[in-house]
Amino acid sequence: MTRPGMADPEADSGVGARGAPGARKRILIVDDSALARDVITEMLRPEGFDVDSAATGAEAISVLEDSGADLILLDVMLPEMDGFETCRRIRKTDNGRAVPIIMVTALTAREHRIAGLDAGADDFVSKPVDKGELLARIRSQLRSKALMEELERKHGELEALQESREALARMILHDLKGPIGAIEGCLHLLKKSGAGRFTEAESRCLENGELACRQAMSLLQDVAVALSLERREMPLNVRSFDAAALVEKGARLLEGIAARRNVSFSCEIPPDCRPLTIRADPDLVVRILSNLLMNAIRHTPEGKRVAVRVSRAGAGMELVVSDEGEGISRDVAERISRGFGPEEAVRPAALRGGAGGLGLYFCCLAAKAHGGNIQVESRPGKGSRFRVHIPSADRQAPAAEDPDSKRGAARGKAAGRPPAGNSADAADRGANASEGQAG
């Protein structure tokens, strides 16, 4: 029985559906003995196979290039070029790279079979050839070939679906930015032109509307960057900066949000980390910080505490964000530490009370893009601690740095990345995004 949508490899092998249109498979017999070729041909044709033959390795490669084959029966003891060398050369051709090859040989020594496998053979049949064994091995190899072709076809379909999903997502992101920006502009203009005429409740509604627009724009930008990071299409804007100063300013800009929620907030930077100079992408680092802090603030009850700490980690940095919120289960913590996938990011209810899925997924991608990672320690009801390790670019693969590439800049722009600036600019952008998320 086959699963829905999967081809039946037995039917596709040409053995279980003899004579059916398109079901016949072509077997190439390579043997310098005309008698041996005739004997094997008489075994195969009554079973529904089409047969081609060749007397030498060179002739076999020529036939393969002209007509192709679904399977090759290759004699080892060939003149001029033996079966091992013929097999190696077949594997270098376009038509022979994935074709099953069964070596037909009177050699039974272990080293000969090892040599055949090293040359690219898939199986062996001993001479004199037994018809039942030959057909069984042919069926087995054709089933494997059919399954591999089906997997490749499904992989191609999945890639096409992935590209369609991303194209649709980018189109939606592009089309949403205009209306959201227009709404925010109208709310700002309304608030400015009506200053002093609105009640306190009306003014608060206008402010909440503006914050909601900023939150939506921030989410759109996170999605755009995440799409590019998923496909590794967006090079990092790597430069040297003081990570301690960046974290300190980014945290200070979020203190007001924590205060409005009556959450205690602290930022700890050890004396030996002033300065803490690393080479990384400050925009992504500050967005990791902002996402984790906002996630912590949202899930910490009034009167409880959120803390951020930065320290050295070899040539890089370690960022720790801890809270006294409801915590998360061990299973979810382990999934985040492994770098959970987009399917979990769009089902955030399993993460932390229905929020933070996209933000945490973005953080995992951004840390991984730097060659780093995120580790989570948490117990339900006891709070959570997120540890982010960001190595310095000196320890990363050279391909990570491409700030001057025109192509990289174009991809960054398409992903919603702002132009490179200093670390203070990055902190301000992260804080503005987080202010929107707070709404």
pLDDT digits (tens, 9 = 90+) for 326-337: 888 777 777 777
pLDDT computed for residue 217 by the predictor: 86
Does a structural domain hold residue 224? Answer: no
One domain for residues 123 and 173: no
On whether the CB atoms of residues 102 and 122 are closer than 8 A, the answer is: yes
Does a structural domain hold residue 251? Answer: yes
Among 137, 155, 173, the domain-final residue is: 155
pLDDT digits (tens, 9 = 90+) for 232-276: 666 788 999 999 999 999 888 888 888 888 999 999 999 999 899
pLDDT digits (tens, 9 = 90+) for 335-381: 777 766 554 444 444 444 334 467 788 888 889 889 999 999 888 88
Does a structural domain hold residue 225? Answer: no
Q: Using CA atoms of 150, 155, 160, 163 in order, give the dihedral in degrees to the nearest 10.
A: 170
One domain for residues 251 and 355: yes
Does a structural domain hold residue 105? Answer: yes
One domain for residues 173 and 242: no
Does a structural domain hold residue 223? Answer: no
pTM: 0.55
What's the total number of domains in the chain?
3
One domain for residues 57 and 94: yes
Does a structural domain hold residue 306? Answer: yes
- pLDDT at residue 1 greater than cutoff 50: no
Angle between helices 423-438 and 282-298 (to 10 degrees): 30
One domain for residues 79 and 137: yes
One domain for residues 146 and 174: no
One domain for residues 82 and 210: no
Q: Which residue has the higher pLDDT, 434 or 98?
A: 98
Question: Residue 51 and residue 72: Cα distance in Å, rounded?
Answer: 10
Torsions phi, psi for 297 (to 5 deg): -65, -40
One domain for residues 142 and 267: no
**Which domain CATH number covers 56?**
3.40.50.2300
Q: Which residues of 50-69 are buried (b: 16+ CB within 10 A; e: fewer)?
A: ebbbbbbbebbbebbeeeeb
**Which domain CATH number covers 261?**
3.30.565.10
CB-side neighbour CA atoms (13 Å) of 299:
28
One domain for residues 366 and 261: yes
One domain for residues 181 and 267: no
One domain for residues 25 and 143: yes
Instruction: Report, as an integer, the average pLDDT of 104-126.
Output: 89
Among 123, 155, 187, the domain-final residue is: 155
One domain for residues 203 and 260: no
Among 103, 126, 155, the domain-final residue is: 155
Q: Which range marks the domain in which residue 38 is found?
A: 9-155
- pLDDT bin (cut points 50, 70, 90) of residue 439 is very low
- pLDDT bin (cut points 50, 70, 90) of residue 321 is very high
Does a structural domain hold residue 379? Answer: yes
Does a structural domain hold residue 401? Answer: yes
Rounded to the nearest integer, the mean pLDDT of the chain is 81
